[in-house]
Structure 1
Amino acid sequence: MTDDLDRIMAVMDAAFDPAWAEAWSRRQVGDSLTMPHTFYRLADERGGVPSAGGDAAGFTLTRHAPGEEELLLIGVRPELRGRGIGRALLERAFADARARGAERMFLEMRDNNPALGLYAATGFEPIGRRKAYYRLPSGQFLDAITFARQL
């Protein structure tokens, strides 16, 4: 798992803009992966499973609860965006969640997240909003939007 944690963190470091303070630390990711209902997937440049020891182009991190799954994180290296990697990762996450008995998948994102187009294209619909939920390093506040998708 250390090798996969290294690959997740390499994508995280590249994909998450520090201005939004959304990236998780290595410890946060590592700790989450020790929990029995937290799962991850890696993708290569074609959206498939990377070879052993190969670089990852993207990843998902999800948490399962009875009847539902939450997308905690998704990341794709910026230079590889627009190639269908994010969609492939989400489709695999949907299939994995269904196999675990989930009927719905949830996610939460900041209001101005550019991933909105990907989420809408893969069937997520907004179901709630938390006003001024995210506080940015600049002191600015942004709303959080909660989305759900039937599986």
Structure 2
Amino acid sequence: MSSTLNITELREGGSQDLTEVIRIMQDAFDPRFGEAWTSAQCLGMLSLPGVWLVIASIGGSDVGFALARSTGDEAELLLLATRPAVRRRGVAGALLRAIIAEAQNRGVLQLHLEVRAGNDAVRLYRREGFEKVGERKNYYRGKTGQAFDAHTYARKLP
């Protein structure tokens, strides 16, 4: 990791980190798009086999996380979020690369994700080798009931 990013730690997370994960998600995800998960959804996912959580900290404060799951030779990035104050500082990229590395350690051959159409994160995913493979119409529902499409991406792993 680059010291210029001031990332002091990328660590494995768990259910003990749920409160902070929810806070980061609330800061990161605009409620009008309906992307954030509830605490119960996160806790339920963390209890499943093949699921892992990575937490990023700067200066001792948790500033981002990534949640993924694997089954067989495939994995899915379920959530990736960073606090708005640390965006464009390499935190999301570091988290994504940590998920990719762990997926490779688990023998994963292909990593999947989905993202809301128009989300700026697409640039990061493309830069890290993901290619668009599909679309889910009206996948997200925001607070007002408005629907937003999701795009699915995949990346083959060596």
Aligned-pair CA distance for 1:95: 0.5
- Structure-2 separation of matches of 1:104 and 1:83: 27
2:53 counterpart of 1:40: yes
Aligned-pair CA distance for 1:103: 0.8
- Pick from 42, 59, 62: which aligns with 1:29? 42
The residue that corresponds to 2:136 in the other structure is 130
- Structure-1 separation of matches of 2:18 and 2:139: 28
Aligned-pair CA distance for 1:134: 2.6
The residue that corresponds to 2:92 in the other structure is 86
Q: Secondary structure at the match of 1:11?
A: helix
Aligned-pair CA distance for 1:149: 0.7
**Higher strand fraction: Structure 1 or Structure 2?**
2
- Structure-2 separation of matches of 1:6 and 1:137: 22
Deviates more, 1:75-84 or 1:7-16: 7-16
- Structure-2 separation of matches of 1:36 and 1:2: 13
Aligned counterparts, 1:64-75, within 5 A: 64-75=70-81
Deviates more, 1:119-128 or 1:131-140: 131-140
- Structure-2 separation of matches of 1:24 and 1:109: 14
- Pick from 1, 5, 9: which aligns with 2:22? 9
Answer yes or no: is the 8 Å Cα contact 2:34–2:140 preserved in 1. Answer: no
2:108 counterpart of 1:102: yes
Q: Which protein has greater RCO, CA pairs closer than 8 Å, 6+ apart?
A: 2
- Structure-1 separation of matches of 2:139 and 2:19: 30
Unaligned stretches of 5+ residues in structure 1: 47-53
Deviation string for 1:68-105 (max 9, x for gaps)?
11000000000100000000001010000010110110
Unaligned stretches of 5+ residues in structure 2: 1-13
Deviates more, 1:107-116 or 1:75-84: 107-116
Answer yes or no: is the 8 Å Cα contact 2:74–2:109 preserved in 1. Answer: yes
Identity across the alignment (%): 42
Q: Secondary structure at the match of 2:149?
A: strand
The count of corresponding residues between Structure 1 and Structure 2 is 144
- Pick from 76, 83, 89: which aligns with 2:82? 76
The residue that corresponds to 2:69 in the other structure is 63
- Structure-2 separation of matches of 1:96 and 1:22: 24
Aligned-pair CA distance for 1:6: 2.0
TM-score (norm 1): 0.88
